[in-house]
Structure 1
Amino acid sequence: MSYQTQLPNLWETERLSIAISTVEEVPVLQAIHDACSYLSKWDGSYIYGDPDYLNTLVTNPPLPPQGGERERFKILTIRERGTSTIIGFFAVYEGEPPPDSLYIFTFFVHPDYQGKGYGRETMGSFLNFARETTFNKLTLCTALKNFPAVRFWTGLGVNKIIKVHGDKVCSENTHAQIDLQMEL
């Protein structure tokens, strides 16, 4: 039996168009991912230097640690409506165990477009759709040292700390992640 998605595969906001990512977009998505390589100093789990990383995400998505179905994973490309320029992407898993939860797997906006409200516009519209589903929670993980991301997510209301994992001592060479959640 095939899973029926509860989230749209295409939508528009005032300035953006968001749609399921295609294999043809992989080189641009990989370039955006690589342009965010500065994250590696904050996040020990950031995958940098794998030129096939986005191709793998699009063609063979990962499963959650507890198992699941690949068809519940989707990557969405974010474009400026006026220019159709790809400015970012994010990935979400519908029903990541527990089955009543949405999980944001990753979210990237090209550094040239950061600080302009595109991320907030994308996630604000996504959260509006998420609230119309049967899912009760949204969960994500971010690097504890990634202060811009922590501020971004908590500002959107994703502010319940579920778990902190990683190194126990903070230093230049240690890393930890924080799992955040919100009720939908």
Structure 2
Amino acid sequence: MALRAPDISDASSIAAISIEVWVGTYLKRGVNRFFADYVLEQFTTAKIAALIDDPDRFILVSDNAEGIDGFICVASSSVAPVEGCSDMEIATFYVQPRHHGKGIGTQLLKAALNHCRACNVQSVWLTTNAGNDPAIAFYLSQGFEKVGETHFRIGDEGYLNNVYAYRLGSVQ
């Protein structure tokens, strides 16, 4: 596993991982048109390429011998849905499920937190679906604290999300 910044040629791989992880995590009982349309509209190669080019985004991918198996995206100008958080958000953090437990997520998160420290912010925040127990357990094990709740919106529908914050110290 090697961590590196992505280039535009990685956009389709990142889009594919995004679709795989999002569908596998949140659509446990089948895929309906509502969610399929959302996923196919959100996770396009063009949208991912725009994120890679966005100067307010810090993105790292985990690369193995076969290709990208995970990535993390930090946004530096996100208004948190609860008070007391910085504008630094872990906006997206996906590792292919078959690569869970190999340390990929831990290494991506550690690198992202070091980036945030270098930006001299006091904390970084993220949201995750309130029912995503594996992600919640991971974030808590890494030192995140639940600081509130919000709703992830798709159209007129809202889905409960927890807000977690990590208080940054020195570079480790």
Alpha-carbon RMSD: 3.1
Match for residue 69 of structure 2?
Answer: 87
Deviations 1:45-94 (A, max 9, x none): 99523385343132157xxxxxxxx52123322213xx263111121112
C-alpha spacing 1:101/1:35, structure 2 compared with 1 (3 Å)? same
Query: Are the aligned partners of 1:162 and 1:181 in contact in 2 as well (CA < 8 Å)?
Result: no
Q: TM-score, normalised by structure 2?
A: 0.73
2:50 to 36, 49, 59: 59
Query: Are the aligned partners of 2:57 and 2:76 in contact in 1 as well (CA < 8 Å)?
Result: yes
Off by >6 Å, runs of 4+ in structure 1: none
Unaligned 5+ runs, structure 2: 29-33
AA aligned to 2:18 is H
Match for residue 182 of structure 1?
Answer: 166
C-alpha spacing 1:60/1:126, structure 2 compared with 1 (3 Å)? closer
Query: Are the aligned partners of 1:92 and 1:104 in contact in 2 as well (CA < 8 Å)?
Result: yes
Q: After TM superposition, list the pairs within 5 Å mapping 1:1-184 onto structure 2.
A: 16-36=1-21, 37-41=23-27, 47-50=38-41, 53-59=44-50, 70-80=54-64, 83=65, 85-97=67-79, 100-165=86-151, 175-184=159-168
User: Percent same amino acid at aligned positions?
Assistant: 20
Whose helix proportion is higher, 1 or 2?
A: 2
AA aligned to 2:56 is R
CA-CA distance at 1:100 after TM superposition:
4.4
C-alpha spacing 1:45/1:144, structure 2 compared with 1 (3 Å)? farther
C-alpha spacing 1:134/1:78, structure 2 compared with 1 (3 Å)? same
User: How many residues get paired?
Assistant: 153
SS state of the match for residue 106, structure 2? helix
Query: Are the aligned partners of 1:138 and 1:158 in contact in 2 as well (CA < 8 Å)?
Result: no
How many angstroms apart in 1 are the aligned matches of 2:35 and 2:114?
29
SS state of the match for residue 154, structure 1? helix
Q: TM-score, normalised by structure 1?
A: 0.68
CA-CA distance at 1:166 after TM superposition:
6.0
